[in-house]
């Protein structure tokens, strides 16, 4: 009786080559995935700023504060609540900023509207993680009312202490 020499399975060398190829593909894919994830976080922040801007312009055009009383003055501040997509008087306790500024680049997102002569700047050099958008109004005797949007700490969070000169040297 003749015995057939059948080879079942893969050799150790073949398995090691496959594992090495997969490891190289993963090593290449992780930085690309991380960069795209950060980009999507920054784009989320930009979309929230656009929504806050639209709400602020609508509020300004209505001529009244959120409660329907008084005219908007230079001391008036409101906050954008990303959960509801509306401007609110009280600072939200839940932050929604996503950008981490991991890349350290100095890119800015800028939009300019010729119709109402407004400019919006979003800087990617600052972390916005868990922060909220504060909208403030300022009046100019020559140019009308300015709308300023700033990322600030959410309600209930402590502002990081700035070390005094000479500390930690």
The pTM score is 0.67
Q: Is the pLDDT of residue 134 over 60?
A: yes
The pLDDT value recorded for residue 164 is 41
C-alpha dist (Å) from residue 90 to 24, 78, 164: 50, 7, 31
Q: What pLDDT does residue 166 have?
A: 46
Average pLDDT, the chain: 78
- The answer, yes or no, to whether residue 67 has pLDDT greater than 90, is no
Considering only CA atoms, give the Rg of the chain. Answer: 26
- Confidence (pLDDT) at 167: 44
Beta strands in 60-116 (DSSP E): 77-81, 86-88, 108-113
Residue 144 has pLDDT above 60, yes or no: yes
pLDDT digits (tens, 9 = 90+) for 14-65: 999 999 999 999 999 999 998 888 888 888 888 888 899 999 989 888 888 8
């Amino acid at each position: 009786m003749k015995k057939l020499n059948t080879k079942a399975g893969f050799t150790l060398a073949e398995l090691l080559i496959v594992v090495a190829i997969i490891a190289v593909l993963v090593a290449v894919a992780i930085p690309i995935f991380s960069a795209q994830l950060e980009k999507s976080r920054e784009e989320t922040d930009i979309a929230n700023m656009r929504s806050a801007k639209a709400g602020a312009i609508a509020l300004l055009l209505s001529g009244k504060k959120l409660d329907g009383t008084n005219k908007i003055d230079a001391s008036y501040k409101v906050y954008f609540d990303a959960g509801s997509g509306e401007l609110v008087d009280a600072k939200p306790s839940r932050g929604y900023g996503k950008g981490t500024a991991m890349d350290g680049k100095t890119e800015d997102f800028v939009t300019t509207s010729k119709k109402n002569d407004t400019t919006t700047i979003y800087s990617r050099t600052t972390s916005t993680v868990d922060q909220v958008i504060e909208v403030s109004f300022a009046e100019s005797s020559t140019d009308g009312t300015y709308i300023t949007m700033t990322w600030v700490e959410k309600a209930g969070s402590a502002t990081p202490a700035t070390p005094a000169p000479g500390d930690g040297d």
